[in-house]
Amino acid sequence: MEYKNITDVKKPVSRIVFGTAAPAMVRGENVFKMLDEVFAAGINTFDTARSYGLAEKSLGAWIAARDNRDELVLLAKGAHPLAGSREARVTPEAIREDVEKSLEMLGTSYLDIYMLHKDCPKTPVGPLVETLNELREEGKIGVFGGADWSYERIDEANEFAYAHDMFGFDVSSSAYSLAEQKEDPWGGCVDISGPKHSVERSWYQDKGVEVFAYASLGHGFLSGKFRANEEKRAARLLDAYAVKGYFSPVNFERLARAESLAGRKHATVPQIALAWLLQQPLNPMAICSASAAKKMLSNVKALDLDLSAEELEWLSNGDH
């Protein structure tokens, strides 16, 4: 496993992060065996959210049973619209409510990393930054940031924080993978993949805001479940969100190149796609969700793949 040191996070953060939005965890089931294997492989960082059903409860039960809280980095998210509603909850009251509930469900007194889950651009950033600083001062959260926040809004929040001698947004979570979004699949998504989002990626590099890439395998598009010439089969295997967000000629071409390189490297398509992501200049963390430990253990092997600059460029853009 590779780890990254993030300022003010007291433990090293695994470059591959386990995403708890897996169906069994969302249902609140006992997944101790899977989490044991994932943790034994070196993954110490877990991404969860108030909007992931009972995932926090499932993760919290494992933490309590194993008594390993001090060995983990917990990334929690809140202030997401309620299920079945589009009404924004990016308010000081919702932030506090969700932090307290996450602490209760996870059985912990603090969250190493906290992110506001979705944004409402009409909401002034000042009260949000003030609330997050208060929670940090109380020891309930550590570093904080936004998930699906535009870089302009993060910059606005950090300008406010700087002007008022407060902590700003040090972390962000956006969709980022070899496959770029054709359309916004869920609503309110912020994708930083592909050539058209180079400005966003440059901003993150310049500002030093750490990126946790969700949909790191294109919501299953780069999972290896189907081949690039099997579009109809792919549409049957993946959900409507993946079809809406990632089914494009450009992405199928990238998938075909990933398959070709996987054959030459004796690797899998997900390993190639994750190796590509992890070796990008942003040096991001890759959030991966899996229903079985063997899939995550296979994904970890992406860290052993060393892709050349030419291979990285070819995967993205093909032959010029």
**In this predicted model, what pLDDT tens digit does every residue of 45-92 receive, in sequence order?**
999 999 899 999 999 999 999 999 999 999 999 998 776 667 778 999
> What average pLDDT score do residues 254-268 get?
97
Judge whether residue 306 has pLDDT over 60: yes
Going from the C-alpha of 122 to that of each of 67, 77, 119, 278, 287, the distances in angstroms are 42, 20, 9, 34, 29
Strand 141-147 relative to strand 111-117, pairing: parallel
In this prediction, residues 35-43 reach a mean pLDDT of 97
| Residue 266 backbone class (left: φ over 0; alpha: ψ -120 to 50; beta: rest) | left
Would you say residue 160 lies in a domain?
A: yes
pLDDT at position 89: 86
Residue 188 structure tokens: 């309110």
Q: Report whether pLDDT(320) > 60.
A: no
Predicted confidence at residue 85, as pLDDT, reads 63
Residue 209 lies in a domain: no
**Average pLDDT rounded to a whole number, residues 91-109:** 96
Residue type, 231: E
Task: Using the predicted structure, report yes or no on whether residue 126 has a pLDDT greater than 70.
Answer: yes
Residues whose CB is less than 8 angstroms from the CB of residue 229 and which lie 6 or more positions away in sequence, other chains included: 256
N- to C-terminal Cα distance for the chain?
A: 34
pTM of the shown model? 0.95
Determine the structural domain holding residue 146 and report its residue range: 3-169
Q: What is the DSSP letter of 17?
A: E
Please determine, for residue 201, whether its predicted confidence score (pLDDT) is greater than 90. yes
Query: How are the residues of the chain apportioned to helix, strand and coil, as percentages rounded to the nearest 5?
Result: 45, 15, 40
Per-residue pLDDT, averaged over 163-174, amounts to 98
What band does 100 get if pLDDT is binned at 50, 70 and 90? very high
184 inside domain? no
**HSE-CB for 190 with a 13 A CA cutoff:** 22
93 falls within a domain: yes
307 or 320, higher pLDDT: 307
List the CATH number of the domain containing 37.
3.20.20.100
So what's the pLDDT on residue 215? 95
176, part of any domain: no
Average pLDDT in the 265-287 region? 97
pLDDT confidence of residue 82: 72
pLDDT at 84: 63
Candidates 11, 14, 22, 15; CA nearest to 49 is: 22
Predicted pLDDT of residue 212:
98
Q: Which residues lie across from 211 on neighbouring strands?
A: 172
User: Tokens in use for 117?
Assistant: 């889950």
pLDDT over 70 for what percent of the chain?
A: 98
C-alpha–C-alpha distance, residues 217 and 201, integer Å: 18
Structure confidence at residue 172 as a pLDDT band (50, 70, 90) = very high
Query: CA neighbours within 13 Å on the CB side: how many for 59?
Result: 33
Q: Is residue 287 part of a domain?
A: no
Assess if residue 196 is contained within a domain: no
User: Residue 230: what pLDDT?
Assistant: 95
Average pLDDT over residues 138-167: 97
Among residues 116, 174, 175, which one has the least CA distance to residue 141?
Answer: 116
Closest listed residue to residue 64, CA positions, set 42, 23, 101, 35 = 35
Residue 273 lies in a domain: no
In this prediction, residue 29 carries a pLDDT of: 93
Total tally of structural domains belonging to the chain: 1
- 145 contacts 185 by C-beta, under 8 angstroms: no
